Structure formats: structure tokens, C-alpha cells
Structure 1
Amino acid sequence: MHVAQFGNLCHVHYGTLKGTVEAVYEANPGLAREPQPFRSGVLITMPDLDVPRDEPILLWS
């Protein structure tokens, strides 16, 4: 998984990238040293985060 794909994983899981990539790396010591794409069997813990989801902006109601 490339960095862009890893970021996409975080965005899909949390609904935002704001602080989530860093939090996932922090929750997974050594993950940043894993070569990407990640090998089969690498477990990634997605911590519970209190992050606002990106909401669409309605231009007309």
C-alpha cells in the first residue's frame, strides 16, 4: 500500500485525513518502517478517534 493508498484507507475509515494518518502510525509502532505495499498479514490497528467527518457543503437548499 503506498502512502496515498494508506491515506485513502484512513480517509475511508475516519471520513477525514485531519490527524488520522499520524494517529494510526502512532497506534502502530513500527508500521512506518514497513515497506509499502504492506506485506500480507500486516495488522493495522485503527484507533478510536474523536474526529469530525468531512461534511459536504450545500450551495443551495
Structure 2
Amino acid sequence: MKKTILSLQNDTVDLICWRHYGRTSGVVEAVLEANPALAEQGPILTIGTSVVLPEINTQQQTAQTISLWD
């Protein structure tokens, strides 16, 4: 389900993605695609800009650990 939010002071698309999805890799592009005019505003969005956040599979990334004694 898509969600629409309003940008806060000094928000960037990256920061919004990090707050909402917990990551930026692979989601910034999807948000910019869902909001074609957003990139025209520049890096810092105007306060109160409406941003559509598409539904994105946010699977948990797990880090592989290596034991020195294995």
C-alpha cells in the first residue's frame, strides 16, 4: 500500500527513505520514480512537500559472521 507523507525541515529523499524503509539502497530510485517532480526540487526538499512512498519489500539484511576457529 502506498503511503503519502509531508517532508520536514531539511529533509532529503535519502533521509525520508532511511526513516521510512530503514535503508536507502534500492529504495531511493523507487521513491523518485513514484514522484517524478521530486528531483526538480534539488537535494533539500521544501517543508511540507508531499512524498508518495511506494510499497517496497524491505527484507532484513543479515551480516554473515566468521569465526576464527571454524
Q: TM-score w.r.t. structure 1 length?
A: 0.66
Aligned length: 57
Structure 1's unaligned 5+ residue stretches are none
Aligned to 1:42: 49
Q: Determine which structure has the larger strand proportion and give its number.
A: 2
Letter in 2 for 1:30: A
Could you list the per-position Cα deviations for residues 1-49 of structure 1 after superposition, in whole angstroms to 9, with x for gaps in the alignment? Answer: 36xx431221121122221111100000110001343223310011111
Query: Deviation at 1:58?
Result: 7.6
Aligned to 1:51: 58
Aligned-pair identity (%): 30
Higher relative contact order (CA 8 A, sep 6+): 2
Q: TM-score w.r.t. structure 2 length?
A: 0.60
Structure 2's unaligned 5+ residue stretches are 1-9
Aligned CA RMSD, in angstroms, stands at 2.4
Task: Say whether 1:29 aligns with 2:64.
Answer: no
Q: Cα–Cα, structure 1 residues 16 and 43, in superposed 2: closer, same or farther, change >3 Å?
A: same
The structure with more radius of gyration: 2
